Structure formats: structure tokens, C-alpha cells
Structure 1
Amino acid sequence: MNGLSNLVESAAASLAFVRQRCPRVHCLMNTVVQKFVADGLAALGAIPSMTSSPEEVEAFARRADALVVNLGTLNEERRTVIRLATSVACDARKPWIVDPVHCDYSPSRLAFARELIEVGPAVVRGNASEMELIGDVDGVLRIKTGPVDELRLDPDAVRVANGHPLMAQVTGTGCLSGALIAAFMAVEPDRLIAATGALLTSGIAAEMAAKRSSGPGTFEAAFRDALAALRPEDIIANARISHAQG
């Protein structure tokens, strides 16, 4: 891995690529947060699509540049749809990310998450308890989220410390970060650079939004505005990253 300063510069450049290329991201997303995620992607210039219809999902996945799979509101039909979409993404060699939401709550959900990971996503992203259950996965970028996000793709590992506590009070900020990672992977082939760029974008936008907010309600709108206004130079000036240990 290049030095951290080079990583930050490359991550900042990937934000510019997203705005220039407007990648299409298909989101099999927690139904509670679909509008928030779609608005967040659109604020960066990406094009979101959200259908989870079994009759349509393969066509939408083929047209997309990247796919994000979120297990938040899961039922048998959504399992079928996810299998269809991930098969298309793999066949077309499109980058995709799986967010194994609440796999620590349900054995069947954990089994499904492991089934998806066997198929070969580019990235797995979850909180500490979820990622502890998922364990090590060869060849996959693992992202453990928290107050400080940790990214590992052997032999490289970095920590991203940007963000704000108000993010935890707005439903969907974590789901959006997964979608942003997919958008960045659509324009940047290096997964570590792409994911770092997405997490810096989300975290720094949150810090900017918090300065203009009086609580979670105003933060939600300010966060979207900050995403739309964020510039690559803001990432370079405000990034807080370090090498991870262990």
C-alpha cells in the first residue's frame, strides 16, 4: 500500500470520478431507508435504482455499474431476488458489496450472509459483532464499522476516524455508506482506495453537517447538502486516517 497521504489523494480523486462518471448503483436495500439512500447517492451524482421485483431485478442489475446488498428487511422473496442479482453481478464482473445487517440476531440470516460471501463479493461491511461472526474471508475487503472504521484487505489495513455521533441518530447513514462504497467501486478498481474514499466522503460530510445542525432532524438535511457540496480538496484537508494494527 502506498503511504497514507497517497491513499488520501487517491481517495479524493475517486470522489471526482464519481461526479464525472455518474455510476448507476442498484440497491437491494433495507426498505426503511430506501429514499434516504437514493437521495444520498444522487447528491454525489450517482444514479440509484431500488427495485426488488423478481421479474425485474436481473435486468436492473445488468444495467447497473455496481450492486449493494443489504440484509436489513429480509424475507424469502428478497433472498431469491438477492441471489438473482448477485449472480448477474458475478457473471458480468461488476463490483458488489454485502452488508450482513443483524446477522448476529438470527442463525438463518447468518447462514444466508455466509452463502453470499461464498459467491464472492468485493466487500463485506458490518459492525463489530456482525464482522466477528463473519470472520476472515480470503480476497474480500472487510470493513468493520464503528466510531472508527477499520478496513482490511491483506496485507493492508487502515482506520478512518471521520464521522459524527449524530450519524447514529439518523436511520440509514450506515446503509448509505455501503451504497457509497458501491458507487466508488464502480469508478475506482482498487477496492481499498474506493472504500476509503466513500467512508471519508460520508464521515467528512457528517462533520460539516453537524456544524450547521441543532439535532438529528436538521442534521439529516444538512448531511445531504454536505454530500452535494463536498469537494476532493475537502477530503484532503480533513481526512483522519491511520494504519491499523494487528
Structure 2
Amino acid sequence: MNETPGTLLAALRRDLPLVQCITNYVAMNIAANVLLAAGASPAMVSDPEEADEFARIAGALTINIGTLSPRFVDGMRAAIAGAGAAGRAWVFDPVACQATGFRRRVSAELVALRPTIIRGNASEILSLAGEVSRGQGVDGRDPVDAAEDGTRRLARQSGSVVAVTGAVDFVTDGTRSVRITGGSPWMPLNTALGCSLTCLCGAYAAVADDAFYAVVAALAHFAVAGSLAHKGAEGPGSFAPRFLDALHAVTPDMLDGEAEIHRVEEAAA
């Protein structure tokens, strides 16, 4: 890799990037703590009165539709315009995009605005790719491997780096692809960790030259920290504080040495 997860983590902690997180009410506190523990600076700025202006000074923008409302959408549009004007990366998390007509319409509009990165579970990514998913609400009921072809197609169509996360994560820009293993089975039993991972993707995108490597580093950081936190935890409740500690404890050398990143050989188009 040209930009290793460890070199990007070192850059993250050196630069302390400001990340504008338009995320859902459930995730705000958790996502802020995740970014602080990892080494970035969160700002939950979403109102359309200031979202554009703030996006121009932030290092990156993340958009999450978990608790969707018309005013939230107005703030998203304003922030995306500001990020675009400033040349900032932005990340889209299509939470439960398949659940309602409103979510489907908003998701289609946001994908058309060409996010730098899209991160979701397999059911969400399948839906964005135009395929049938088994997702109900925010739960991802499809396996990651069932979404890999759709993820590649979505990446090529949208121009985004697309990450589908689960027991084994898959990242592609339509040409390059990797799988990332690690983490803990207690991670899905802690609410909003996926939403927080989206925000961490934004933090890494703020310090990376290549969004593909930014996503790989963010997912690897989560996986290594999850594996570390799992040791000694007795269940999802005791896992949660250990995970924040682990995010902070992971060093650049540890990340490069312990991350389980597997390159996927792509067939010629």
C-alpha cells in the first residue's frame, strides 16, 4: 500500500482533523467519543443555517440518514455544497435506505451528488446498487459476500469508494478491492458503532491523499481495536468502554503489524 494504515494514523494524530458529522440522534455521543479516542476532532453541526459555512472549514464531512427529517436533509444539502466548494471529502452512510420511500428518494439524491466514500451494511449497499436485500429497518440481514458484486458496481457507477462492513469488511473503488478481518462479535451488539465508523472514515479521509486507503485504514483501526477490546470483556456491556480505550491505545506500528488486510485480485474488465 502507498499509504499504510499506520502512516495515516500517525497523520491523524498529528493533524487532529476537524470532522463535521451530520449523524443521527442515537449516534452523536458515541461517534464523538470514537473520534476523540482515535485522535480526531468531532463537530455535530447539521442546521442548514450554518452547515455550508462550517463544511468549508472542516477537514471532512460525514452524512448519516439514521434519524431522517426534512430539515436534516436541508442541512445535508447545504453541507455537501460547502464541502464541494472547499474541495473536502464527504462520506455517506445510507442507514436503512431500503426501508421507506422517503429514505430511498433521499439516498438516490445523495448518491447522485457523488460522495467520496459510501459505507453501509450489506443490506444497505445491495439496495443502493439496485438489488433486492433482506434488510428490515437498520438491521443488515444480508451477508457481506452476497453484496460484493453489487458493491463493485455501485463504486463504478457512483465514482465513490464503497465499503460494506460486517463480520468481514469489503472495500472497493471498482478497480482495487480488499477484505479486512478482525474485530469482535460484540461489536454489532453495541448501537451506533457502524455510524461511528462512518465518522472515522471521514477523519482518515481528511488526512489521506487517496480515499481508498483512508477507508482501509479506518476499517483496520476498528478491527484491530475490536480484537483488542474483546480480550477480557465479558459481553457487549463491558466491551463498550474497552473499545474506546482500545481505539486510543492502538499505535501506528500496532496497526500496520496487526491489521488483517487481504487484497482481492480483480478480473480484467
Q: What band does the TM-score fall into relative to the shorter chain?
A: over 0.9
Greater mean alpha carbon deviation, residues 16-25 or residues 42-51: 42-51
Equivalent in the alignment of 2:252: 232
Conserved in 2, the CA contact under 8 Å of 1:143 and 1:150? yes
**1:59-114 Cα deviation digits (max 9, x unpaired):** 22222110000000001111111111111111111000000000011122122111
1:165 alignment partner, SS class: coil
Equivalent in the alignment of 1:88: 82
Equivalent in the alignment of 1:170: 190
**1:9-59 Cα deviation digits (max 9, x unpaired):** 712110110000000000000111111100110112211000222222222
Q: Any gaps of 5 or more consecutive residues in structure 2?
A: 130-153
Superposition map of 1:189-204 within 5 A: 189-204=209-224
Conserved in 2, the CA contact under 8 Å of 1:100 and 1:110? no
Equivalent in the alignment of 1:130: 124
**1:149-176 Cα deviation digits (max 9, x unpaired):** 1111121111111211111111111011
Equivalent in the alignment of 1:117: 111
2:16 counterpart (22, 34, 49): 22
Letter in 2 for 1:145: T
Conserved in 1, the CA contact under 8 Å of 2:179 and 2:263? yes
Shift of 1:245: 5.8
Once residues 28 and 149 of structure 1 are traced to their aligned partners in structure 2, the CA distance between those partners, rounded to angstroms, is 23
2:53 is equivalent to residue 33 of structure 1: no
Letter in 2 for 1:17: A
Once residues 202 and 190 of structure 2 are traced to their aligned partners in structure 1, the CA distance between those partners, rounded to angstroms, is 21
**1:121-176 Cα deviation digits (max 9, x unpaired):** 10111111111121223421111111111111121111111211111111111011
Once residues 142 and 245 of structure 1 are traced to their aligned partners in structure 2, the CA distance between those partners, rounded to angstroms, is 17
Letter in 2 for 1:52: S
Q: CA RMSD in A?
A: 1.3
Equivalent in the alignment of 1:217: 237
Equivalent in the alignment of 2:132: none
Conserved in 2, the CA contact under 8 Å of 1:49 and 1:60? no
2:241 alignment partner, SS class: helix
Once residues 206 and 197 of structure 1 are traced to their aligned partners in structure 2, the CA distance between those partners, rounded to angstroms, is 14
2:36 is equivalent to residue 42 of structure 1: yes
Equivalent in the alignment of 2:52: 58
Equivalent in the alignment of 1:12: 6
Conserved in 1, the CA contact under 8 Å of 2:112 and 2:158? no
Equivalent in the alignment of 2:262: 242
1:186 counterpart (198, 203, 206): 206
Report the identity percentage: 35
Once residues 92 and 117 of structure 1 are traced to their aligned partners in structure 2, the CA distance between those partners, rounded to angstroms, is 19
Aligned length: 240
Once residues 197 and 68 of structure 2 are traced to their aligned partners in structure 1, the CA distance between those partners, rounded to angstroms, is 19
Structure 1 segments of 4 or more deviating over 6 A? none
Conserved in 2, the CA contact under 8 Å of 1:157 and 1:245? yes
Shift of 1:189: 1.5
Conserved in 2, the CA contact under 8 Å of 1:14 and 1:184? yes
Q: Any gaps of 5 or more consecutive residues in structure 1?
A: 1-5
1:32 alignment partner, SS class: coil
Conserved in 2, the CA contact under 8 Å of 1:52 and 1:81? yes
Once residues 52 and 95 of structure 1 are traced to their aligned partners in structure 2, the CA distance between those partners, rounded to angstroms, is 17
Conserved in 2, the CA contact under 8 Å of 1:24 and 1:49? yes
